[in-house]
């Protein structure tokens, strides 16, 4: 059957096409298509429904095979790919130069009772149409055949750059793990994988001309190597064959891999490999610390010869139009202190070190341009003159993007903290490690890539938006998946869907099915937005038997079913509607479900009795006034488990215990932990608060009400050389009346380890609680 006859049989000719209208809510599609309308009827898809490669192109066949693989794995619906339709009731894929949507990533998708047809002018558009159909064929948790409602979709992306950055320097991922991330990007119609491959903590890309980069630069010696579960060394690199594999895997999913090699800062691993690349001539170790480091590339001819040869091999591996050169956080102290660098700067007629960085970046841009590539860098590159064709990635808020656009540069919006996926998704005590403040699902969904101050001409320079995942606190793929998903769903809609189509409540309504897909795909997504927060009037509960109990979640969505006997809630358990008046003691357990009964969040439990109310997690204790810096970290930098996690402030080890009725309280018990101080703070090191200590190894000082209040207890810290990292401190408290807060301050030497609070408990007698 020829194509004209096939289309006629399927009922897709304009003369017989049904009228479509927005008569129903959107199906569970993420991202939401640009246009969608509905008609009466549906098309039934079962194992006898062929997927027809109507144009006989190899690329169309690969897309058809990919679609069939998804439906088989996720639905148990095993379809067959055919070159010709044996039946008019088929799924037809057609690359058509005359297709309705001119955008190379756009497509149309039609469903009628007679069949399904996807058409696009380009391979990428056809692939994205197939990804939409894959979601339509997995609308619930059921297996087997599915009926797809009649609809007409006309779709194209809002932005050409729809990105995700993965840092493989601080912690590496295997090739298979990266391929899993790429698969998810493809399903979400993201098209740019920004791969961070070189930094102070490691060099991760094989460069054959410079073997010391792999022998030395790819490996660091962890803090406490060989102890506390730490490896003797950490690191590795991706071989050029592995990189080609990843680039090809991405390309097959219409994803471009953009490599990042940081310069002129973040150079410690390279300088450790070849000291002549640095300014001091000395060989540092590959850094085991996080933060901002002092090492810069030199600015002499030998250094640029190295960089050019590295770029030659990078460009041979990555066909990307863009090469990312970093340009961020280049502390200029070494340049300022070097007579040679200063002489170079003055010979070039440059007024300061920022201008020297601009000259450095321009030198890189010229080399890349001569080889048909474009330079992209973080917004610090604007601090000096940069090539006119350079693209700017704005991470320090959106102002960098505004400034770049006004200078005529294309921009990608990637601001911290909004699109930094290493930010915590919630402030819950059971959240994974990461940075504060919280950047939750709603925050990502609400992000607008085009700053309002830009006019239409300027807005055309906005290529799109990208989320970044820095992996200092993400040592395993489980950490990575928890951090990325489902915030990647929100990002995909920001990047793909029309701004006016975004609807937070509609997005939440489409997530339960997406969560079911994640479960089928064995993706370790976070349920933080829907997890139950169980709160009581703590003061009332400590002074009276009865208390008001409130159950909420971050998203304000879903049905919260609860039990009061510690049993696991189901959809038949009581549904929370209004605050409850409860009598203590009891154990509350809450799970979140969609209206259709699909799980949204696993059950969370809270034991409510006097002992538990007097025991507070350090993760729930805020910083003392004066410093809002906060991290959630694990016991060691390379931990492989998801927990425990501890809140720290590297500038001031001081936290507040909430106001509590102190009548009858006689003692305090603290579960503490000693953590590596593996942070380079550059010029911010002067902000670290140092307090005198009165015992050899420091102490935990307990103040009443305020941090300058009366000292209630001084608890000496154990000898770090002779004690375990987890320790307990106990002390008597003077008799007190009424309600008081406590301020807890570690006064340990700031040139040693950091100390954190795991849990703080108040006791009315000599009994020491069991650690939680």
Contact indicator for 277, 267 with CB cutoff of 8 Å: yes
Distance separating alpha carbons of residues 553 and 561, to the nearest angstrom:
12
What HEC string does 60-117 produce? HHHHHHHHHHHHHHHHCCCCEEECCCCCCCCEEEEECCCCCCCCCCCEEEEEECCEEE
Q: How far is CA 36 from CA 33, 144, 154, 337, 463, in A?
A: 7, 25, 7, 62, 25
Is residue 355 exposed (0-12), middle (13-18) or buried (19+ Cβ within 10 Å)? middle
Spot the catalytic one: 103, 308, 329, 430.
329
Contact indicator for 43, 35 with CB cutoff of 8 Å: no
Phi, psi for 672 (deg, rounded to 5): -115, 170
| C-alpha neighbours within 13 Å on the C-beta side of residue 31 | 30
Cis peptide upstream of residue 31 (ω within 30 degrees of 0): yes
DSSP string covering 604-648: EEEEESHHHHTEEEGGGSPBPTT----EEE-SSTT--SS---EEE
Distance separating alpha carbons of residues 318 and 204, to the nearest angstrom:
15
Give, as one character, the DSSP assignment of residue 294. -
Active site residue 740: no
Contact indicator for 703, 691 with CB cutoff of 8 Å: no
Distance separating alpha carbons of residues 170 and 162, to the nearest angstrom:
24
CB 188: neighbour CB atoms within 10 A? 23
Q: Helices 477-484 and 487-496 sit at what angle, rounded to 10 degrees?
A: 50
| Assigned token pair, 72 | 């088989």
Spot the catalytic one: 110, 199, 440, 699.
199
Would strands 202-203 and 234-235 be described as parallel, antiparallel, or unpaired?
unpaired
In sequence order, which residues have a C-beta less than 8 Å from that of residue 635 and are 6 or more positions away?
A: 228, 644, 646, 673, 675, 725, 726
Distance separating alpha carbons of residues 255 and 466, to the nearest angstrom:
13
Would strands 726-732 and 679-681 be described as parallel, antiparallel, or unpaired?
unpaired
Distance separating alpha carbons of residues 190 and 253, to the nearest angstrom:
10
287, 276, 264: which is closest to 333 by C-alpha? Answer: 264
Spot the catalytic one: 266, 461, 561, 703.
266
Is residue 626 exposed (0-12), middle (13-18) or buried (19+ Cβ within 10 Å)? exposed
In sequence order, which residues have a C-beta less than 8 Å from that of residue 556 and are 6 or more positions away?
A: none
Active site residue 266: yes
Radius of gyration over every alpha carbon of the chain, rounded to an integer in angstroms: 29
DSSP string covering 708-734: TS-EEEEEEPPPTTTS-SEEEEEEE--
Active site residue 312: no
In sequence order, which residues have a C-beta less than 8 Å from that of residue 412 and are 6 or more positions away?
A: 161, 163, 376, 391, 392, 393, 394, 401, 462, 463, 464, 465, 466
| Assigned token pair, 29 | 């599609």
Which residues does the annotation mark as catalytic?
A: 199, 266, 329
């Amino acid at each position: 059957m020829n194509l004209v006859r096939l289309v006629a049989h399927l009922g897709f000719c304009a003369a017989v096409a049904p009228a479509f209208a927005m008569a129903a809510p959107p199906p569970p599609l993420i991202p939401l298509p640009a246009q969608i309308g509905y008609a009466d009827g549906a098309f039934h898809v079962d194992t006898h429904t062929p997927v027809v490669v109507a144009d006989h192109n190899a690329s169309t066949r690969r897309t058809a095979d990919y679609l069939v693989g998804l439906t088989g794995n996720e639905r148990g619906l095993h379809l067959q790919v055919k070159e010709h339709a044996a039946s008019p009731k088929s799924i037809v894929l057609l690359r058509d130069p005359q297709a309705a949507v001119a955008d190379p990533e756009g497509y149309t998708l039609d469903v009628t009772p007679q069949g399904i047809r996807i058409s696009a002018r380009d391979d990428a558009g056809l692939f994205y149409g197939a990804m939409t159909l894959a979601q339509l064929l997995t609308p619930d948790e059921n297996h087997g055949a599915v009926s797809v409602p009649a609809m007409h979709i006309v779709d194209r992306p809002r932005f050409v750059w729809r990105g995700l950055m993965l840092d493989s320097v601080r912690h590496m991922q295997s090739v298979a793990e990266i391929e899993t991330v790429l698969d998810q990007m493809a399903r979400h119609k993201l098209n740019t994988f920004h791969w961070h491959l070189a930094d102070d903590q490691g060099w991760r890309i094989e460069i054959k001309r410079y073997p010391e980069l792999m022998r030395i630069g790819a490996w660091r010696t962890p803090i406490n190597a060989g102890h506390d579960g730490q490896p003797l060394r950490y690191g590795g690199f991706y071989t050029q064959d592995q990189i080609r594999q990843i680039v090809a895997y991405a390309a097959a999913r219409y994803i471009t891999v953009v490599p990042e090699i940081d310069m002129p800062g973040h150079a410690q691993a390279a300088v450790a490999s070849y000291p002549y690349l640095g300014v001091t001539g000395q060989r540092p170790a590959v850094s085991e610390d996080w933060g901002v480091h002092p090492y810069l590339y030199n600015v002499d001819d030998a250094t640029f010869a190295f960089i050019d040869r590295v770029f030659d091999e990078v460009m041979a591996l990555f066909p990307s139009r863009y090469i990312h050169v970093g340009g961020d956080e280049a502390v200029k102290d070494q340049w300022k202190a070097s007579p040679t660098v200063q002489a170079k700067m003055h010979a070039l007629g440059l007024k300061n070190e920022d201008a020297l960085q601009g000259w450095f970046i321009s030198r890189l841009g010229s080399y890349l341009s001569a080889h048909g590539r474009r330079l992209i860098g973080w917004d610090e590159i604007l601090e000096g003159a940069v090539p006119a064709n350079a693209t700017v990635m704005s991470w320090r808020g959106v102002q960098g993007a505004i400034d770049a656009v006004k200078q005529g540069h294309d921009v990608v919006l990637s601001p911290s903290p909004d699109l930094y996926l290493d930010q915590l998704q919630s402030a819950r005590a059971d959240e994974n490690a990461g940075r504060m403040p919280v950047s939750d699902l709603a925050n990502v969904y609400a992000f607008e890539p085009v700053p309002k101050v830009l006019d239409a001409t300027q807005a055309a320079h906005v290529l799109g938006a990208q989320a970044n995942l820095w992996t200092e606190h993400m040592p395993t793929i489980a950490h990575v998946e928890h951090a990325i998903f489902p915030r990647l769903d929100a990002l995909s809609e920001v990047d793909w869907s029309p701004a006016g189509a975004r609807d937070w409540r509609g997005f939440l309504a489409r997530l339960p099915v997406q969560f079911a897909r994640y479960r089928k795909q064995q993706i370790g997504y976070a349920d933080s937005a829907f997890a139950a927060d169980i709160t009581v009037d703590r003061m009332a509960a400590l002074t009276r038997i009865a208390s008001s109990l409130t159950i909420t979640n971050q998203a304000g969505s879903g049905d919260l079913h609860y039990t009061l006997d510690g049993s696991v809630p189901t959809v038949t358990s009581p549904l929370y509607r209004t605050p409850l008046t409860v009598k203590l003691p009891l154990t509350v357990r809450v799970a979140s479900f969609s209206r259709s009964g699909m799980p949204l969040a696993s059950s969370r439990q809270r034991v409510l009795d006097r002992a538990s109310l007097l025991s507070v997690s350090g993760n729930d204790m805020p910083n003392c006034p004066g410093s809002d810096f906060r991290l959630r970290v694990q016991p060691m930098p390379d931990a492989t488990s998801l927990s425990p996690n501890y809140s720290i402030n590297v500038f001031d080890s001081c936290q507040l215990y909430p106001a509590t009725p102190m009548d009858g309280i006689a003692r305090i018990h603290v579960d503490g932990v000693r953590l590596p101080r593996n942070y380079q703070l550059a010029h911010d090191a002067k902000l670290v608060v140092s307090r005198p200590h009165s015992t050899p190894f420091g102490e935990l000082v307990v103040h009443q009400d305020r941090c300058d209040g009366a000292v209630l207890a001084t608890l000496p810290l154990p000898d770090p050389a002779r004690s375990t990292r987890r320790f307990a401190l106990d002390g008597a408290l003077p008799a007190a009346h009424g309600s008081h807060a406590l301020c807890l301050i570690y006064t340990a030497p700031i040139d040693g380890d950091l100390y954190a609070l795991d849990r703080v408990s108040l006791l009315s007698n000599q009994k020491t609680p069991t650690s939680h």
